[in-house]
Amino acid sequence: MIGLTSAALTDVGKCRSHNEDAFYADRKDGLFIIADGMGGHLGGEVASAMAIKEISGSLRRAGPSVSMDHLRQAVEVANEAIFQRSMKDPALYRMGTTIVIAIIVNDGVLLAHVGDSRAYHLTHSGLVRVTDDHSLVFRLLAEGKITPEEAKQHPHRSALLRAVGVDKTVQVDCRELKRLDTMLLLCTDGLTEMMDDQEIEKTLRAQPDPQKACDALVNEANRKGGKDNITVIVVRRDDDASVTGIKPDIGAQ
């Protein structure tokens, strides 16, 4: 596997009383996951934590031979576990979570996602969003029914068309980056609701150190209002870096 430098950060934001986001970041195995829970105070936290535990466990068991099928199956197993838990506890009914997963395989990246948490690829030529939101507003934008300006103020901009755990089955989007160029960013909508892609790219280029980039992104999102929980993972390709012996970070607030 290529050398990596990475950092992760989650923050409650300026308007929420609790954090329903969770993340997993393991540079040694090249596995990075973000989940943004929903379903009330308890439900959202439970769903995101369950998703992180189930998916990271499944993918670690797959070992170095991990494939796109493994990613899809890991999300499906997490979906079933969250759904069954919600059926047994009325307080957790209809809980769910977004998910975005990146795993470094050889020179490239395997990605899977459900919901509106995103993955971005910073290349030498620009910042590329490599996931499509499973949201009502994103669909309306893609169909040309609303403008980007209207999307920012749309009354249903937080409405998701897909989430992990809400239904008995889930459709997972997967794709592959043949080569990790400069940086990979995973984030929840707490970042992208506050910063546009141009602002995100400018910040990443100004802060090549992943920890400083995470700090700068979260600080800027909070400066702009911090309307939701904010979670970011920044992974930098660094072929000379030693990535052995680093323990995984598992975070939630």
Residue scoring higher pLDDT (42 or 240) = 42
Q: Is the pLDDT of residue 252 over 60?
A: no
pLDDT digits (tens, 9 = 90+) for 218-232: 999 999 999 999 999
pLDDT at 63: 81
Q: Is the pLDDT of residue 97 over 90?
A: yes
Q: What is the DSSP string of 183-195?
A: EEEEE-HHHHTTS
Tokens describing residue 106: 């050889």
pLDDT digits (tens, 9 = 90+) for 33-79: 999 999 876 899 999 999 999 999 999 998 888 999 999 999 999 99
pLDDT at 248: 57
pLDDT at 1: 77
pLDDT at 159: 85
Mean pLDDT of the region 163-188: 97
pLDDT at 41: 63
Q: What is the DSSP string of the chain?
A: ---EEEEEEEE-TTT-SS--EEEEEETTTTEEEEEEEESHHHHHHHHHHHHHHHHHHHHHHHGGG--HHHHHHHHHHHHHHHHHHHHH-GGGTT-EEEEEEEEEETTEEEEEEESS-EEEEE-SS-EEE-----BHHHHHHHTTSS-HHHHHT-TTTT-BS--BTSSSS---EEEEESS--SEEEEE-HHHHTTS-HHHHHHHHHH--SHHHHHHHHHHHHHHTT--S-EEEEEEEE-TT---TTPPPEEEE-
> Residue ranges of the domains in the chain?
16-182
Q: Is the pLDDT of residue 137 over 90?
A: no
pLDDT digits (tens, 9 = 90+) for 139-166: 887 778 877 777 777 777 778 999 999 9
Average pLDDT, the chain: 91
243 pLDDT tier (thresholds 50, 70, 90):
very low
- What CATH architecture applies to the domain 16-182? 4-Layer Sandwich (3.60)
pLDDT at 49: 97
- Report the percent of the chain where pLDDT is more than 70: 94
For residues 85 and 65, what is the distance between their CA atoms, to the nearest angstrom?
A: 30
Phi, psi of 99 (to 5 degrees): -150, 140
Is 0.85 topped by the overall pTM? yes
pLDDT at 253: 41
